[in-house]
Amino acid sequence: MSLNAERSYKMKLRDVENAFKYRRIPYPKRSVELIALLAISCTFFLFMHTNKLNSRLKEMEVKLQPSEFSALGLTGNHISGHDAGKHDDINTLHGTYQYLKSTGQILQLSPEKLNNTPKAEIDVLFFNRVPKTGSMQLIELMRQLGKVHDYEVEKDPQNGGVIPLLETAEESDMIDNIVNFEDGTVFASHVNFLNFTKHEQPRPIYINMVRDPVERVISWYYYIRAPWIFVPGRRRNNREMPNPKWVNTEYDQCVSSGEKVCTYIENSLLEHVGDHRRQTLFFCGHNEFQCT
């Protein structure tokens, strides 16, 4: 075979390979529509099946776990009469809410009634922060927002330690200090509720946060035993370091051994400074006997 003939043969072979490689197989128009319809049908079927499966999983989760309102003793057996056809709903949060609402066990409160800001008489925000509820993070957030919206955040240093209970004169002095802040100021302090009206002073905007009481007590227990917390204070006040056993005792061991610091007796008065087992005091006031 001559050189030209060989080149011509290779070119024809390459053309044939390209034709197979880049070929396009035409589909009838109805076939394309059928494929599209099939794809949509499959997508819709999967969506419905997944949605139904998700609903069933939620129902099983509710039945396997205690209801959020189990403390009220509500079960499907509590519904009778005209509610008999709705017995399945009682096992869901929405159904329980609707049941409590229909029986008058939940008061209807509008957002306007829950919002305390309109009740304020001065444009000062008072954050009487509950210890171990994430208050430092909220203060930092407000400081960052203050840089954007041009307002100041004042944090009570409380160098003498957290003392939420105040004498009448101390309470009056703190109230006077707060009402004299410039408009737009935020003041944060670990202190119990201050009754501005009782002291004939204008009320600020109150905010606060709470935490699960058990989790909060456990958090406080380990917090005060952290070396970076108790060492600087004891060195500053020339106090001896605590017993290693006090530092290393786990919370469950403290409770099971009946130690006083881990014993919670109803109606008992507060211990000494640093006893923050009752976060409700931060919403009650400074009368220890009335608030406990």
Q: Where are the alpha helices (DSSP H) in the chain?
A: 3-21, 29-64, 93-102, 111-114, 135-149, 168-179, 213-223, 227-236, 244-248, 251-256, 288-291
Active site residue 190: yes
Give, in order, the Cα–Cα distances in Å from 28 to each of 38, 146, 224. Answer: 16, 66, 78
**Of the candidates 220, 196, 205, which has an alpha carbon nearest to the alpha carbon of residue 278?**
220
Helix (H, G, I), strand (E, B) or coil at 84: helix
Helix (H, G, I), strand (E, B) or coil at 67: coil
| 210 and 128 Cβ atoms separated by less than 8 Å | no
| 175 and 199 Cβ atoms separated by less than 8 Å | yes
Annotated active-site residue in 82, 190, 199, 286: 190
Distance CA 261, CA 277 (A): 10
Phi/psi-derived region of residue 73, left when phi > 0, alpha when psi is between -120 and 50, beta in every other case? left
Distance CA 209, CA 133 (A): 6
Distance CA 190, CA 65 (A): 37
- The residue assigned the tokens 């009368």 is 287
Distance CA 227, CA 211 (A): 24
**Active-site amino acid positions:** 190
